[in-house]
């Protein structure tokens, strides 16, 4: 590999996999990445490892989500600098992502990396066809990667219990595992994660859960609890979307702080941040060795976490909590139409269809509604309800 090697590959593997206790000591001569980041000369690196649940795989806490990188040199640099686990998917860049990884892996010892890929949860006309299409796609992924097997095969991006437990998908996953083309199977989820995670636990089939998880989930603790339950059940937990989108309504997220926040939860075994520059790689590598949040990082997270986003999950946990029995999910939807979709017409139409006054919270001493996403429900209601009184001609 042409990239400057901070750690000899064989040395790295030998040393890192010796770190069964959780921390491995790895000699490093990190390459000069950029003039803004001076190299760390021959420092001793203490990479933190965690075991991926019942798979027994010991992984550094920082892995690489390759989705947005079409730069083979960057992937090679990640592997050469201590990252072991690469996460991709059949659909990323229409397969080019897997091909690029395949080229980078060529010539590397098979036990020096851990690969995960994902196949979409597309349902065909029959169960048999669903299984076949799933497995055909997986075989194509292996071919692109140039591998006989991967460590983890995920069912890609499910958002409910039914899809997570859909029998043809489970059959296909088990067939792939039985054939030896994947060592472990998992499910990935971006939305309604607690429901999907519970289904994964109940299935007794999944080994790993890949879930969106970041500091914006700190509000209700529902997801944190689901992750804890899954980890206790022996599932490996991989966290993605650790930056929460990179910006929160214009506030740029501190990537190092966000990554550390996720990893403070020891039930998370590894993370897959997606970096696209050598500088970003450098930043993430530093988190691999030091999880302590500085005061400044804590302040950044507080600021960023105070912006919980615009989108109501529609989970309806708020239903029935309001003493005035206001249709809160609908009003949160109107708020989302207004500020998220910028569709004032739809928001006003929705508000006018609801049986609420222009001052619906009048008389309430304080709001007792607890939103799963941490929205300040009373504030949002008083904000959006003003739209009822704006002449339609201002909006149309």
Partner 1 sequence: MMLHFKGIANARVHRLAFLWATGVFFWAGCASLTPSGRDQAALFPRMEGWKLLDDVRTYTPETLYEYINGAAVGYLAYDFQELHVAEYRRKKQASVLVEIYRHLTPAHAFGIYSQERPREGPFLDIGAQGYCEVPLLNFIVGEHYVKINGAGDPPASETLLETFSHALVAALGGKTGLPPVLACFPEELRLPDSEMFVARNFLGYGFLHSGYTAEYRIDDQYFKLFIIEGTDRQDCQQMVESYAELTQYPEVVEEGPLHTFTDPYHGEVTLAWKGNYIWGALDLADSQERSRYLSSIETGLSKLQPDM
Tokens of 102: 């395949």
Does the footprint of partner 1 cover residue 143 (CB under 8 A)?
Answer: no
Least distance in angstroms from the C-beta of 49 to partner 1: 25
Point out which residues pair with 332 in neighbouring strands. none
Cα 337 from Cα 381, distance rounded (Å): 13
Binding map of partner 1 across residues 175-204, x = CB under 8 A, - = no contact: ---------------xx-------------
Q: Which two tokens stand for residue 34?
A: 């950029």
Helix, strand, coil percentages (3-state) for the chain, rounded to 5, are 45, 15, 40
User: Min. distance of Cβ 309 from partner 1 in angstroms?
Assistant: 7
73 touches partner 1 (CB under 8 A): yes
Contact 28, 42 (CB under 8 A): yes
CA distances in angstroms from 13 to 56, 204, 353, listed in the order given: 16, 32, 63
Cβ 68 to partner 1, closest distance in Å? Answer: 5
Contact pick of 349, 354, 376, 382 for partner 1 (by CB under 8 A): 349
Binding to partner 1 by CB under 8 A, coded x per residue (else -) over 307-346, reads --xxx-------------------------xxxxxxxxxx
Q: Contact region for partner 1 (CB under 8 A) — 130-138, 256-264, 273-281, 320-328?
A: 273-281
Residues between 88 and 117 with contacts to partner 1, criterion CB under 8 A = 93-96, 103
Between 167 and 383, name the residue whose CB sits nearer to partner 1.
383
The dihedral formed by the CA atoms of 161, 165, 166 and 167, expressed in degrees to the nearest 10: -160
Q: Which residues contact 389 (CB under 8 A, 6 or more apart)?
A: 358
For partner 1, which residue of 60, 102, 212, 360 counts as binding (CB under 8 A)? 212
Q: Where are the alpha helices (DSSP H) in 251-355?
A: 255-264, 278-287, 295-305, 328-335, 344-353
Q: Is there binding between residue 37 and partner 1 (CB under 8 A)?
A: no
Give me the residue label for tokens 């946990």: 317
Task: Provide the binding-site residues for partner 1, judged by CB under 8 A.
Answer: 2-4, 31-35, 65, 67-68, 70-71, 73-74, 76-77, 93-96, 103, 157, 190-191, 212, 240-241, 244-250, 274, 276-279, 309-311, 337-347, 349, 383, 386-387, 389-391, 394-396
């Amino acid at each position: 590999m042409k990239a400057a090697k901070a750690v000899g590959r064989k040395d790295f593997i030998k040393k890192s996999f010796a770190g069964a206790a959780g921390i491995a000591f790895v000699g490093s001569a990190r390459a000069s990445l950029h003039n803004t980041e001076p190299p760390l000369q021959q420092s001793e690196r203490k990479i933190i490892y965690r075991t991926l649940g019942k798979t027994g795989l010991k992984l550094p806490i920082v892995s690489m989500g390759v989705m947005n990188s079409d730069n083979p040199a960057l992937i090679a640099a990640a592997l050469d600098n201590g990252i072991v686990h690469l996460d991709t998917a059949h659909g990323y860049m229409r397969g080019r992502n897997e091909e690029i990884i395949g080229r980078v892996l060529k010539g590397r010892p098979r036990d020096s990396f851990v690969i995960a890929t994902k196949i979409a949860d597309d349902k065909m006309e029959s169960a048999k066809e669903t299984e076949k299409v799933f497995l055909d796609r997986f075989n194509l992924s292996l071919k692109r990667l140039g591998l006989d097997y991967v460590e983890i095969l995920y069912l890609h991006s499910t958002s409910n219990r039914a899809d997570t437990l859909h029998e043809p998908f489970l059959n296909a996953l088990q067939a792939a595992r039985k054939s030896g083309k994947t060592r472990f199977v998992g499910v990935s989820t971006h939305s309604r994660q607690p429901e999907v995670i519970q289904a994964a636990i109940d299935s007794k089939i999944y080994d790993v859960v890949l879930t969106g998880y970041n500091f914006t989930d700190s509000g209700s603790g529902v997801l944190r609890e689901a992750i804890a339950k899954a980890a206790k059940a022996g599932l490996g937990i991989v966290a993605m979307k650790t930056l929460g989108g990179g910006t929160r309504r214009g506030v740029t997220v501190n990537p190092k702080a966000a990554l550390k926040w996720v990893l403070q939860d020891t039930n998370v075994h590894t993370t897959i941040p997606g970096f696209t520059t050598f500088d970003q790689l450098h930043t993430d590598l530093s988190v691999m060795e030091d999880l302590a949040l500085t005061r400044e990082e804590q302040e950044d997270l507080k600021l960023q976490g105070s912006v919980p986003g615009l989108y109501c999950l529609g989970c309806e946990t708020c239903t029935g909590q309001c003493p005035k029995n206001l249709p809160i999910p609908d009003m949160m939807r109107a708020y989302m139409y207004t500020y998220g979709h910028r569709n004032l017409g739809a928001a006003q139409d929705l508000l006018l269809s609801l049986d609420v006054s222009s001052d619906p919270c009048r008389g309430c001493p304080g709001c007792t509604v607890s939103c799963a996403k941490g929205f300040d429900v009373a504030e949002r209601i008083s904000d959006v309800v003003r739209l009822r009184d704006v002449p339609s001609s201002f909006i149309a």
